[in-house]
Amino acid sequence: MWAIQQKLFKIYVILIFFSGMIQIIFPEQLVGFISDVILMIMLFNLFLISDKVYGRVYWLFIALCFLLLLSCIYSYFNGNELGAVLLSARNFKYFLLCFIVLSIDVNSFNFVRKVILLLLSLSIPIAVYQFNTADYTNPAWWDEVGGALGRVGQSGTLSLLILIFVAFEYFKRIRDGVKLFDWYLLLLIPMFINETKLVILLIPLVFFYMFSVMGKRYLTKFVLLLPFVIIAGFAANFIYYVNFNVSPFDAIDYEFIENYFFIDEQYASQEIDIGRGTRVVYAMDYLSSQDLSVSLFGEGIGSTFWGQYSGIEGKIASEFFYLKLHIGSRNQLYQFLLDFGYLGTTLIYSAFFYMWYTVVKAGVNRDSSLLAMIVIPIFIFSTIYQMVFETRVIVFLFAYSFLLCMCENKTKVKNENFNS
């Protein structure tokens, strides 16, 4: 059973990271169906071998399944279409998947790392090709540079993945005392030829954050590398300016931030894509105008869902279709507020920050905790900027790295798990 579980996990990881390329050959619906079937088999196996899983992490899995089911029931009886509820609940499947690490070899981390490395290596020539063949008559042509993740709508996800992986390799080498400048820096190339305002601004933040976390013992190395970070920042700024005729550092300007996030104070017209901040303001205004139960718990999971091809709509997406809340510059915070209310959103972010606190407390001695220490704050920050729950690779790394860190530091798995 353990051997089957590990093979299925590896197949599923490949499907997560390479689905964009696989869908060139096979229909997207078929790939999604196969991946969901594999996930169901692995979760069923987890129940069968629960006696070999140590303690409270397994019961955390049971609790999350129960809360997700409860949320779906509440949403359906609150007036949302069953299809919208179930399709939105699918976004949480990667969190459930990551409990599979309880039933596989902890060395699965090495396999996941190799898969990411292969994906990003292939993305270099693919991204260059996409950049050179992009449709420049399309106002959003820069969003066609998604590397091996896919051509359209994946540029931001690719950039986040590059930042996470390069930062992990960089700080791992600082920790281990090995050569810092190596091949992995070439993986930055796609990030500088697509639309990456957020990621370029995150680079110095991640650098100083990791310095504060890793401590004074690495002070000398950080000081010596500071000029490189500054030079890289200016180089990225120059490349971005050449491509888009604007500097990403203009985003620091208050007027730019206000115009970018709050495009239309009155929410929207038919022609304008309202800003990310405006969506959050709308969500808060909406909750404040409802009764106490909706303010606390929201309209239910799936209320903001809009199926482009299926025609399935959640309660909010249907009633306020004219506001175009279902398309454009969406972010996760706005969806959390409308789906789960003030109380639900507070609990979600409390869980996120608790996860962050846990991995920081675990230290950087293990690769899993080092990765989680990088992924979790980036994930939390990204919720105010994009629909990060729809970026399968980032959600997977977020949940997988945290749970693997917990397994290595707080749980014990019987010896046969590791020798299977």
Domain ranges across the chain: 2-255+338-419
| Ramachandran class of 104: left when φ > 0, alpha when ψ lies in -120 to 50, beta otherwise | beta
The answer to which of 55-59, 88-92, 198-202 has the lowest mean pLDDT is: 55-59
pLDDT digit string (tens) for 287-316? 888 889 889 998 889 888 877 666 788 888
Confidence bin at 117 (pLDDT 50/70/90): very high
pLDDT at 105 over 70: no
The answer to which of 25-34, 63-72, 222-231, 343-352 has the lowest mean pLDDT is: 222-231
Confidence bin at 121 (pLDDT 50/70/90): very high
The answer to which of 147-156, 185-194, 257-266, 323-332 has the lowest mean pLDDT is: 257-266
Say if residue 285 is exposed, middle or buried (CB neighbours under 10 Å; 0-12, 13-18, 19+): exposed
Q: Are 401 and 368 in contact (CB under 8 A)?
A: yes
Q: Are 240 and 196 in contact (CB under 8 A)?
A: yes
Give me the sign of the Cα torsion angle 133, 138, 141, 146. Answer: negative
Confidence bin at 321 (pLDDT 50/70/90): low
Cβ atoms < 10 Å from Cβ of 245 = 7
Q: Are 1 and 49 in contact (CB under 8 A)?
A: yes
pLDDT digit string (tens) for 160-205? 899 899 889 988 888 888 887 788 888 888 887 776 666 767 777 8
pLDDT at 115 over 90: yes
Confidence bin at 141 (pLDDT 50/70/90): low
pLDDT for residue 415: 41
pLDDT for residue 272: 52
Q: What is the pTM of this model?
A: 0.82
Angle at 23 between CA 18 and CA 27, to 5 degrees: 145
Confidence bin at 374 (pLDDT 50/70/90): very high
**How far lies 289's CA from each of 284, 292, 293, 343, in Å?**
9, 9, 11, 16
Q: Cα-flanking dihedrals φ and ψ of residue 320, to 5°?
A: -120, 40
